[in-house]
């Protein structure tokens, strides 16, 4: 079963995985790298008071700072801390100051953020080694799922390596000196406008959709608009030099957006902290099949945190034969499920083994530590 689990995740070896993480490639060093077995190197070295004395073939000796040498791999190398972020590049969709950038900074406080025009560009940035990871919104507690990203998860081969839950406190921003009564329109991302409906109805000015909240703030600032406001974050106000006219304008004070962290390689599942696993599958047709699919988790006391269905785009529609009266047509769906268990746990491996009995397709999108902070 362990082997099956490895096949499902499509892992690189632990050593290869760890090597990539600790040796971030420069643009000139993108070729696949073979792992050197450090223990062999150590056997020709002797440690002397914090320095390594290494002997070359021709017998000449030199001294080298121990810290500059590659370190032997240990279990600690497999630890999955999101804050190990020294200059890791994170792609996201949107402009500087958007909530997606906030999410990237929550996960990797010292990261370099890479703004992208479209969600797909953020995926491609990782695939093309322009960024190490991507951070993308997947669902919002008030607005629901971001379907585009569910579809892209399947179209691309990146792995989910983390999640970020971000409280999205929306603010009304305008140029310094502009008063709320002067406003004739409000710009923002459609989701941000939708979840601030009560406040914006009272304000009573037309709403204009733009690509992201960061862009809305930048647009108001760079065009010197004195009759427009942006719905965006406090950080966007700082980035673009805008005033905060109102804070926490969302209808639901607990407005949380959940983001996924994607990488080229999966991480090693663990059991010493809460992990979540995300999968996507298709099922055969027939009564009760979805019930059976969900039962594989219930039987093992595995909690599901999300279920989403999306049409299979290559097989959108099937026509049933004429004798089958009633439903003349039906759709084929992909099911996305998040469950609270690590793939290192036998109950999760058994559940997926069981699911494979009636799934026509199954892919593990990632197994990653749960974000329990807000």
Nearest to 91 by CA among 50, 49, 55, 122: 122
User: Quick one: 146 or 152, whose CB is closer to ligand PRE?
Assistant: 146
CA distance 356 to 358: 5
* Site residues for ligand PRE per CB under 6 A: 94, 98-100, 137, 140, 146, 168, 189, 191-192, 212-214, 257
- Sequence-separated (6 or more) residues with CB below 8 Å from residue 49: none
Residues 6+ apart with CB under 8 A from 40: none
Q: Catalytic annotation on 271?
A: no
CB of 137 to ligand PRE, least distance (A): 4
User: One of 123, 257, 277, 281 is an active-site residue; which one?
Assistant: 257
For residue 238 the two structure tokens come to 């700082």
Q: Which residues pair with 318 in a beta bridge?
A: 330
- Is 282 exposed, middle or buried (CB count within 10 Å of its CB: 0-12, 13-18, 19+)? middle
The token pair at 40 is 């062999």
The owner of tokens 């494979």 is 356
The smaller minimum CB distance to ligand PRE, of residues 168 and 352, is found at 168
Residues 166, 167, 168: CA angle, nearest 5 degrees: 105
* Tokens (6 digits) for 29: 């060093």
Tokens of 120: 């797909």
HSE of 370 in the Cβ direction (CA atoms, 13 Å)? 15
Tell me which H or E stretch contains 172: strand 171-174
Closer by beta carbon to ligand PRE, 96 or else 362: 96
- Which listed residue (259, 275, 281, 297) is catalytic? 259
Nearest of 74, 108, 68, 76 to residue 91 by alpha carbon = 108
Question: Least distance in Å: CB of 140 to ligand PRE?
Answer: 5
Least distance (Å) between residue 210 CB and ligand PRE: 9
For 316-369, give the DSSP string. Answer: --EE--TTS-S--EE--EEEEEEESS-TTSHHHHHHHHHHTTTEEEEEEEEEEE
Q: Is 34 a catalytic residue?
A: no
Query: Where in the sequence numbering do the catalytic residues fall?
Result: 257, 259
């Amino acid at each position: 079963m362990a082997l099956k689990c490895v096949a499902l995740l499509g892992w690189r070896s632990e050593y290869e995985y760890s090597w990539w993480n600790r040796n971030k490639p420069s643009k000139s060093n993108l070729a696949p790298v073979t792992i050197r077995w450090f223990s062999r190197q150590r056997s020709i070295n002797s440690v002397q008071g914090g320095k390594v004395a290494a002997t070359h073939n021709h017998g000449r000796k030199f001294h080298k700072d121990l810290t500059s040498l590659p370190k032997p791999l240990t279990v600690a190398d497999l630890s999955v801390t999101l804050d190990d972020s020294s200059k890791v590049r994170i792609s996201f969709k949107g402009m500087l100051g958007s909530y997606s950038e906030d999410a990237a900074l929550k996960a990797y406080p010292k990261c370099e953020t890479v703004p992208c025009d479209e969600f797909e560009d953020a995926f491609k940035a990782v695939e093309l080694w322009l960024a190490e990871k991507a951070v993308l919104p997947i669902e919002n507690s008030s607005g629901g799922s971001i379907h585009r990203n569910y579809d892209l998860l399947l179209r691309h081969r990146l792995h989910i390596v983390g999640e970020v839950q971000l409280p999205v406190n929306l603010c009304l921003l305008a140029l310094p000196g502009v008063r709320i009564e002067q406003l004739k329109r409000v710009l923002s991302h459609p989701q941000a406008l939708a979840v601030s409906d009560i406040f914006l109805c009272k304000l009573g000015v037309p709403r204009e959709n733009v690509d992201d909240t960061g862009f809305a703030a930048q647009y108001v600032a760079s065009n010197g608009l004195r009759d427009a406001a942006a719905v965006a974050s406090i950080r966007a106000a700082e980035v673009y030099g805008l005033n905060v006219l109102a804070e926490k304008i969302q209808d639901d004070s607990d407005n949380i957006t959940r983001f996924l962290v994607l990488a080229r390689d999966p991480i090693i599942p663990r059991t010493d902290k809460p992990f979540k696993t995300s999968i996507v599958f298709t099922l055969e047709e027939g009564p009760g099949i979805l019930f059976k699919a969900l039962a594989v988790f219930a039987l093992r006391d595995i909690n599901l945190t999300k279920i989403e269905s999306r049409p299979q785009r290559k097989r959108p529609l099937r026509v049933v034969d004429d004798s089958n009266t009633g439903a003349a047509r039906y759709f084929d769906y992909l099911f996305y499920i998040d469950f609270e268990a690590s793939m290192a746990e036998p109950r999760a491996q058994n559940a997926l083994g069981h699911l494979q009995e009636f799934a026509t397709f199954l892919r593990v999108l990632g197994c990653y530590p749960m974000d329990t902070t807000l």
